[in-house]
Amino acid sequence: MNRRPIAVISILSAVLLPALAGCGGSVERSTPTQARAADHFLAGQLYIDQGNMNLALEELAKAVELNPRMSLAYSKIGKIYRSRQQLTEAVAAYEQAVAIDPRSVSDLIDLGGLYQTLERFADAATVYARAVAIEPNDYQANFELGTLYYRLGKLAEAEQTFNRCIALDENRPDAHTHLGIVHYDQARYYEASKEFLASLECKSQQPRVMLYLAGTYMKQNRMISAIDVLKVARSIDEQNAEIPAQLGECYFVQRKYEEAKDAYADALKLEPRNAKTLAGLGSTLMILALKSPNVVQQETLRRQAVEYWHRSLEEDPNQPKIITLLEKFGPQRTAGDALNP
């Protein structure tokens, strides 16, 4: 295989050299060195097209060595390193690209994505904000910036950014969902429910969004609405333990303890070590014990409740309410009890 299809590269070089010579400012007259750099860049692109990334990196490295102002070459290098999960090298390449061409929105977005992967959230927000300042109508840049503002606890900025996303395209569910989450954290539950409903209107089959919506209904004490939504969510995703667990909470609040018991038990089949669900089932069983007229059933339910509370504390010891309930309703569990619950 020819390492460099010279005839093809020479033709392309003559056409593209002005674009490859610099960083996007005024085009200066190309030099022989810049021409050689362009040849290496085009060879690198051909090797990328052929899937030979090792030779592509070699050629692109030669291109930037000859012409350190070739931002496109740094961008290509960054993409190759990113595809190989060599994130440090990818970041260095993209940082070079945006230093040379500060108005490259695509490079800023790619660099922001790398910063997010590396959990450099403040740096990511900075580059996404630069991208939005250059191209205010870029949906992806706005959306990523909104998610970063949320991660950084800047809820007002996140709200403003997600509203801008919705203004750009109101038919995409993701911005509605994220704006709903922001409103939920702001304790604006009615507004949150409106955004989750808008997301579901854009895309109906979203059990995670249905969970969020049910949560807002619970905060508004609209338990029947929450239960209805959770039942639909459960029909879509039968393996998500959060759905029956949340159903258990709703039934518990409604004092439908048999339904709550069954829902919590279903959740534990899917996620047996969830501390919150174990505690909820324990509390439900204790109430059923206290309400039972049958002495034998009372004791059976009480022992089961105590056992679930102990299991909950094993998963999460920091539950003062459960500790108080155990002190009130249950003897300390012995080693024999632990072996034979």
User: If we measure between CA atoms, which residue out of 113, 181, 115, 169 comes closest to residue 138?
Assistant: 169
Alpha carbon of 306 to those of 72, 212, 264, 268, 317: distances in Å? 65, 31, 15, 16, 15
214-218, 326-330, 335-339: least confidently modelled range: 335-339
Mean pLDDT value across residues 204-220: 97
Residue numbers of the domain that contains 52: 1-97
Cα atoms in the 13 Å half-sphere on the side-chain side of 269:
10
User: If we measure between CA atoms, which residue out of 277, 206, 284, 212 comes closest to residue 245?
Assistant: 277
**pLDDT above 70 (res 18):** no
CATH code of 45's domain? 1.25.40.10
pLDDT in tens, 138-170: 999 999 999 999 999 999 999 999 999 999 999
pLDDT in tens, 286-310: 999 999 999 999 999 999 999 999 9
- Whether 25 is covered by a domain: the verdict is yes
Q: For 75, left (φ over 0), alpha (ψ -120 to 50), or beta?
A: alpha
- Whether 23 is covered by a domain: the verdict is yes
- Whether 30 is covered by a domain: the verdict is yes
At residue 40, the pLDDT reads: 87
Look at the block and give the residue holding tokens 């695509």: 106
- Residue 32: band (very low, low, confident or very high) from pLDDT cuts 50, 70, 90: confident
pLDDT in tens, 108-126: 999 999 999 999 999 999 9
At residue 316, the pLDDT reads: 97
Domain count, the chain: 1
User: What sign does the dihedral 156-158-159-161 (CA atoms) show?
Assistant: positive
Q: How many residues does the chain have?
A: 341
- Whether 284 is covered by a domain: the verdict is no
- Whether 15 is covered by a domain: the verdict is yes
**What is the dihedral angle through the alpha carbons of 87, 165, 232, 241, rounded to the nearest 10 degrees?**
30
Mean pLDDT value across residues 18-33: 54
- Whether 264 is covered by a domain: the verdict is no
Mean pLDDT value across residues 313-321: 96
- Whether 12 is covered by a domain: the verdict is yes
- Whether 185 is covered by a domain: the verdict is no
